[in-house]
Amino acid sequence: MTTHSRGVAATIDPVKLDRLAEVAIKVGLQLQPGQDLVLTSSIAALPLTRRIVEHAYKAGAGLVTPIFNDDEMT
């Protein structure tokens, strides 16, 4: 379970989250072996970002660099 900035709790289906990350890498980005990936993400999206990084490496990414921001600090 995760809590949004408004204090609303939400359950994240790990299977759907994993599928979304896979589609982002394979279809959205069409990441090719050896390509590097830099992505920005809110801390609130950490579970999705972790899966995107995982799928990027599975697709053969050279280096994956996530850059996080915190909406409460910026």
Asked if residue 54 belongs to a domain, the reply is: yes
Q: Give the domain CATH number at 60.
A: 3.40.50.2300
Taking the model in full, what pTM does it have?
Answer: 0.83
Residue range 64-73, pLDDT digits in tens: 999 999 988 8
Asked if residue 19 belongs to a domain, the reply is: yes
What's the rounded Cα separation, in Å, for the pair 40 and 65?
Answer: 9
pLDDT for the residue numbered 31: 98
Q: Which residues pair with 2 in a beta bridge?
A: 10
pLDDT averaged over 10-residue windows placed end to end, the chain, 74 residues: 54 93 98 98 94 98 97 81
Q: How many domains does the chain have?
A: 1
Asked if residue 22 belongs to a domain, the reply is: yes
Residue-by-residue DSSP string for 28-50: II---TT--EEEEEEGGGHHHHH
pLDDT for the residue numbered 71: 84
pLDDT for the residue numbered 34: 98
